[in-house]
Structure 1
């Protein structure tokens, strides 16, 4: 009988691999430098997430229990709401991006929401506290990816609106 935790981790690895491939293609296809920066950031973050999942998976395959296979990190997650703002300093609010970038961002948001649902579903089923904490970490990461992508899409769809809302400043520099 297959181990449900190992099955979940295998599926999570597949999701991470697909995300890395999608974001790498978006980097290559993205005509705007800012879009490329965001997708490059997501490639790096997804590779880190994949490595984390792989580390836990290998520990479980080696026969370790969750407590030994999954070392929980005490680090503070990066505030993804600030990440995009840090990428755009000095960029004047301009016209909206071409729809290929917005389309890629929308597809990425949909994929991240599916991954978020995947981790939430498994977190609701597990009773192991370490596995639950690991899944909470994955959920936190997915939420961060969603925030970054949503903020980026908003900027590309309505740069002036983004500056007004996110930067809380007028467009006249006042």
Structure 2
């Protein structure tokens, strides 16, 4: 197979990866949205709201890149699709320390944490696998950033 065939194969792989990533982010967002509506404590509600908003940013980022590739362009940057906060783990640990004695946790909230942790762990695993296959520098940069952000989500939930 010539260079053109390899490029098409890389493009097909990238589009499939982005499609799968978008599905995962949509499921994560839908889950966090449901949890926000049922969560009984304010810290949990705030944490799940932030995660839901982050999944929306991830979806927008993925759609922008997907549309660029489908339009015959190469990988693009995702400027304007950065997360609006710093390290989630540090933010939530500080809040928990400040308000820990006021927090009552329901069983459903704990189950939601476990499910969220599983979602984020699977996302990290997915992106780490995709990083091994990525050939384009911007694609690798995108995947590395997604790994960092998903690991931050995982750590915040843990």
TM-score (norm 2): 0.84
Q: 1:71/1:17 Cα in 2 relative to 1: closer, same or farther (>3 Å)?
A: closer
- Work out whether 1:70 is the aligned partner of 2:53: no
8 Å CA contact 2:22, 2:62 repeated in 1: yes
Candidates 80, 90, 106, aligned match of 2:114: 106
Task: Name stretches of at least 5 consecutive residues in structure 1 with no aligned partner.
Answer: 151-174
Instruction: Give SS of 2:37's match.
Output: helix
- Structure 2, unpaired ranges of 5+: 1-8
Question: Does the 8 Å contact 1:72/1:134 carry over to 2?
Answer: no
State how many pairs are aligned.
147
Structure 1 pair 26/62, CA: closer, same or farther in 2 (3 Å)?
A: same
Q: Is 1:145 the equivalent of 2:141?
A: no
| Change in CA separation of 1:96 and 1:133 when aligned onto 2, cut-off 3 Å | same
CA distance in 1, matches of 2:43, 2:52: 14
Matches within 5 A, 1:80-99: 80-88=88-96, 90-93=98-101, 97-99=105-107
**Structure 1 or 2: larger helix share?**
2
Q: Map 1:114-153 to 2 at 5 A.
A: 114-150=122-158
Q: 1:56 to 1:40 in 2, by over 3 A?
A: same
* Aligned residues: CA RMSD: 2.3
Q: How far apart are the structure 2 equivalents of 1:58 and 1:119?
A: 20
